[in-house]
Amino acid sequence: MKNEILWSLRLGFSTEQSKTIEKLGIEGFLKQSFGAPYNTTVPDLLNDSPKTFEDFKAIRKIKKEDPEKSKELIKKESQTLHELKAWWIEQIISNDFPLREKMTLFWHNHFVTSSQKVKVNYWLFQNNQLYREEAFGNFRTLTKKVLQTNAMVRYLDNTDNKKGKSNENLSRELLELFTLGIGNYSEIDIKNGAKGLAGLGLGIDGAKYHPFYEDNDPIEYLGKKGVLKMNEMVDAIFDHPKIPYLLTKKIFQWFIYDQPKEELIHYYGNYFKKVNFEIKPLLVKIFTEEFAKKETAGAKIKNPLEYSLELVDELHIENPNINALVLFLRQQGMDLFNQPNVKGWDGGNSWLTSQIYLQRNNLADLLCNGRNFNRQKSPAENNIPKKQSVTVSLEWNPNENNKEIIKELTDRTLFAVDKSSQEDFEKILKYDFDPKSPGANNAVLRLFNAIVKSPEFQII
């Protein structure tokens, strides 16, 4: 696998950017990615979704007075959430420089605010858009901004955190999962942090302190003393010597290695601190230096989105059923806006179980056979030849022989091809395979189908 192809997969969701990387070099490519335009508008699907306190009040009234209509509203919002997921996938697919969306997903899975608890779709969207805007921004700034979102204070129960009746959830996760990581703070820091955050609750344009519930007593927090509020607390966190490493490690795991070496995390973490927690220079340094290293492929298990979008791209499927893709992701344990808990998707080996692997293979079979994501067939349709629902086409060179075609395909799909896989592939395309025959394309598709079902395809 060529380096440009590997890095197109790592920094996006397909091999589509490999030519651009080749043309611009990795640094040029990153620069373009940072500056590429992206959607900043509120999608129409949220037009009727409640956004303001007036809207919520009206809903509360309906819920009390009209249980039937209330059910309808709940159903409608769950439909809206589904559309929001589909909308996001559209953003991901349509962007020529998907690095921003991949980074948005990263933040989405770092500063988790799941729909399990956050029932206001507009808030979920606001956080999503914040992660998109700040994708390449500053870690410290983003941390502060996230604390000021309604989704976060709602998700981690800070709405219940009041002077004299504290709730430590947000205070704890702020240190444990969002910034320093376990072992780098004390339980007293958590308690005092909750005091500092007391009264930070829902607001019109985002979370804000409600003076009546605030706790303005001086606290000691990570060695800093005084009346510390949200922003001062974050500053105290970012003065802690351990601050750069957790995020650096997670960036490595998201893009490159499931198990990054400690010395890498330290090396790049120290740099992250030096550049004052700016994301751009960190990404540039990691990606260019790791790009220059040889033989780094085969270190990360693809997440379901990387897996499925690569197939869609390779097969040039113009009209993938995005709604069904949303459901596929859920089956695969990557339901957007709905991580199982505040830790987010664990990634790495936890992406795969035998059930999930089987679903992936089934999807590969479906798509390679020109059928769309959903394969539910009604009983009435049984025994009726199924019409192809998507047009698939694969890029390959009919002037090549069987081995060259195998190489062409595996070069852009597999990080490694061992002897037994090669033998299997040559069983499908034999030495006397005629690439000019009318059935050649189907045969190459069968080869591709076998390739993408091999264990190696699960890994980049």
Partner 1 sequence: MNRRNFLSLTGTFTAGSLILPDFLHAFGTQNNLVIGDQCVVFVQLNGGNDGLNTYIPFQDELYYKSRPTIALSKEEVIAGNNGMAFHPSLKDFATMQQNGDLSVIQNVGYANPVRSHFRSQEIWQTAPTNQEYLNQGWLGRYLDFQCNDHEPTAGINIDSIDNLALKGEEPNSITVKDPDRFTTKQTTDNSEQLSGNPQLDFVRKIANSVVEGSDAIQDALKKSTASEVNYTKNGLSKNLEWIARLIKGNLHSKVYYTSMGGFDTHDNQLAIHQNRLKELNDAVFSFYNDLKKAQLLSNVTIVVFSEFGRRVADNGRGTDHGTAAPMFIIGGNNQGKVIGSNPNLSDLDKGDLIHQIDFRSVYASLLEQKLNFSANKIGIKNSPLKGLF
Q: Measured from the CB atom, is 321 or 369 closer to partner 1? A: 369
CA–CA separation, 50 and 188 (whole Å): 39
- Binding to partner 1, residues 128-187 (CB under 8 A): none
357 CB contacts (<8 Å, ≥6 apart)? 458
Q: Measured from the CB atom, is 399 or 420 closer to partner 1? A: 420
Q: Which residues make beta-bridge pairs with 98?
A: none
Number of residues located near partner 1, criterion CB under 8 A: 50
CB of 455 to partner 1, least distance (A): 4
Planar angle of CA 285, 291, 293, nearest 5 degrees: 110
Residue 220 contacts partner 1 per CB under 8 A: no
CA-based R_g, the chain, Å: 25
User: Of 451, 450, 408, 402, which Cα lies nearest the Cα of 430?
Assistant: 402
Q: Measured from the CB atom, is 155 or 255 closer to partner 1? A: 255
Q: Which residues make beta-bridge pairs with 301?
A: 459
User: Of 210, 202, 15, which Cα lies nearest the Cα of 119?
Assistant: 202
Residue 439 contacts partner 1 per CB under 8 A: yes
Q: Looking at this protein, which amino acid is placed at residue 314?
A: E
250 CB contacts (<8 Å, ≥6 apart)? 106, 110
CA–CA separation, 389 and 397 (whole Å): 25
Residue 300 contacts partner 1 per CB under 8 A: yes
- Among 258, 289, 346, 408, indicate the residue that binds partner 1 (CB under 8 A): 258
Residue 419 contacts partner 1 per CB under 8 A: no
Residue with tokens 């001086």: 218
Residue 458 contacts partner 1 per CB under 8 A: yes
CB of 348 to partner 1, least distance (A): 8
Cα-based distances in Å from 110 to 226, 237, 273, 343 = 29, 17, 19, 7
Helix (H) or strand (E) holding 208: strand 208-209
Q: Measured from the CB atom, is 169 or 454 closer to partner 1? A: 454
Residue 432 contacts partner 1 per CB under 8 A: yes
- Among 94, 353, 393, 397, indicate the residue that binds partner 1 (CB under 8 A): 353
Which one of the spans 38-46, 215-223, 272-280, 299-307 is the region binding partner 1 (CB under 8 A)?
A: 299-307
Q: Measured from the CB atom, is 198 or 366 closer to partner 1? A: 366
Query: b/e map of 77-100 (b: 16 or more CB within 10 Å)?
Result: beebbbbbbbbbbebbbebebbbb
Residue 438 contacts partner 1 per CB under 8 A: yes
- Among 211, 383, 419, 436, indicate the residue that binds partner 1 (CB under 8 A): 383
Q: Looking at this protein, which amino acid is placed at residue 177?
A: L
Residue 295 contacts partner 1 per CB under 8 A: no
- Among 212, 294, 420, 436, indicate the residue that binds partner 1 (CB under 8 A): 420
CB of 360 to partner 1, least distance (A): 10
Which one of the spans 21-29, 179-187, 198-206, 362-370 is the region binding partner 1 (CB under 8 A)?
A: 362-370
Q: Measured from the CB atom, is 130 or 451 closer to partner 1? A: 451
Helix, strand or coil for residue 436? coil
- Among 361, 372, 374, 401, indicate the residue that binds partner 1 (CB under 8 A): 361
- Among 293, 294, 419, 430, indicate the residue that binds partner 1 (CB under 8 A): 430
CB of 306 to partner 1, least distance (A): 14
Q: Looking at this protein, which amino acid is placed at residue 213?
A: Y
Q: Measured from the CB atom, is 171 or 410 closer to partner 1? A: 410
Helix (H) or strand (E) holding 82: helix 67-94
User: Of 222, 167, 237, 239, which Cα lies nearest the Cα of 200?
Assistant: 167
- Among 281, 298, 344, 347, indicate the residue that binds partner 1 (CB under 8 A): 298
Beta carbons of 104 and 128 less than 8 angstroms apart: yes
Residue 459 contacts partner 1 per CB under 8 A: yes
Helix (H) or strand (E) holding 434: none
Q: Looking at this protein, which amino acid is placed at residue 424?
A: D
CB of 339 to partner 1, least distance (A): 22
Q: Measured from the CB atom, is 78 or 442 closer to partner 1? A: 442
Q: Left (φ > 0), alpha (ψ -120 to 50) or beta: where does 220 sit?
A: beta
Q: What residues make contact with partner 1 under the rule CB under 8 A?
A: 258-259, 298-301, 349, 352-354, 357-358, 361-362, 365, 369, 377, 379, 382-383, 385-386, 402, 416, 418, 420, 423-424, 427-434, 437-439, 442-443, 445-446, 449-450, 454-456, 458-459
